[in-house]
């Protein structure tokens, strides 16, 4: 099984009172909850794609964390993964560390980057029924005004039509998903689970 998650920010205690307002008493309580949610879902041989900002901790703290996290870990580098600059961190826990990657997941392509890419490779690809064949998975923006702007961009794009090769008109696809850990209650999710999570969250935000 392959899972995805972004912006866990282990050890980043100020996120409990600022920006995310996560509400844990302290970083230790937050870390323990996130670790349990992760390991309750992920098994030893599952793959987890971390879409950046895994840990705000020092190299030694992050090494200890990495030994406790289940799964085969892959890291899309985030701007707050400061431990990567320290030679003491345990690089062996990662299958790979990259700034960007494109993979296939159940006959669909996923474009992976910590930062959202509004015009991503393969954006227009759909199957014969109009279902998307490519998704752009990202993190970075948490649940901020930047995420609201991305949602507005997505709505505008999906409500814009263009003429295709056969002369018909078709709405422009825009399948960007913010895999922010708080959206999944700090649990890594599969691609299909993130698609469902994103759809449900957006539906809740629409005016009735």
Please, what sign has the CA dihedral across residues 136, 140, 144, 150?
negative
Q: Which of 80, 16, 6 is nearest to 38 (CA)?
A: 6
Nearest-angstrom CA–CA distance, 52 and 136: 14
Question: What tens digit of pLDDT does each residue of 79-94 get?
Answer: 999 999 998 888 899 9
Tokens of 147: 């995420």
Break the chain into its structural domains and give their ranges. 2-116+132-140+176-205
Q: In sequence order, what E strands does 107-158 have?
A: 108-113, 134-138
The answer to whether the pTM exceeds 0.85 is yes
Question: What tens digit of pLDDT does each residue of 50-64 get?
Answer: 999 999 999 999 999
| Contact indicator for 65, 39 with CB cutoff of 8 Å | no
Task: Considering the domain delimited by 2-116+132-140+176-205, tell me its CATH architecture.
Answer: 4-Layer Sandwich (3.60)
Which pLDDT score is estimated for 67?
96
Which pLDDT score is estimated for 207?
60
Pairing of strands 176-178, 134-138: parallel
Nearest-angstrom CA–CA distance, 44 and 53: 22
């Amino acid at each position: 099984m392959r899972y995805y998650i972004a912006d866990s920010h282990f050890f980043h205690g100020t996120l409990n009172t600022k920006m995310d307002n996560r509400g844990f008493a302290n970083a230790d309580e937050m870390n323990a909850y996130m670790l349990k949610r992760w390991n309750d879902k992920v098994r030893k041989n599952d793959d987890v794609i971390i879409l950046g900002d895994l840990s705000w901790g020092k190299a030694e703290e992050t090494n200890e964390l990495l030994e406790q996290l289940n799964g085969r870990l892959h890291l899309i580098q985030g701007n707050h993964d400061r431990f990567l600059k320290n030679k003491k961190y345990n690089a062996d826990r990662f299958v790979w560390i990259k700034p960007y990657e494109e993979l296939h997941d159940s006959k669909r392509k996923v474009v992976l980057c910590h930062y959202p890419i509004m015009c991503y490779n393969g954006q227009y690809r759909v199957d014969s029924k109009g279902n998307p064949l490519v998704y752009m998975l990202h993190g970075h923006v948490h649940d901020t005004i930047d995420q609201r702007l991305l949602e507005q961009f997505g709505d505008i794009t999906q409500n814009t039509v263009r003429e295709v090769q056969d002369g018909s008109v078709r709405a422009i696809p825009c399948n960007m998903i913010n895999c922010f850990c708080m959206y999944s209650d700090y649990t890594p999710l599969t691609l299909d689970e993130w698609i469902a999570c994103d759809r449900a969250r957006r539906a809740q935000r629409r005016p009735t």
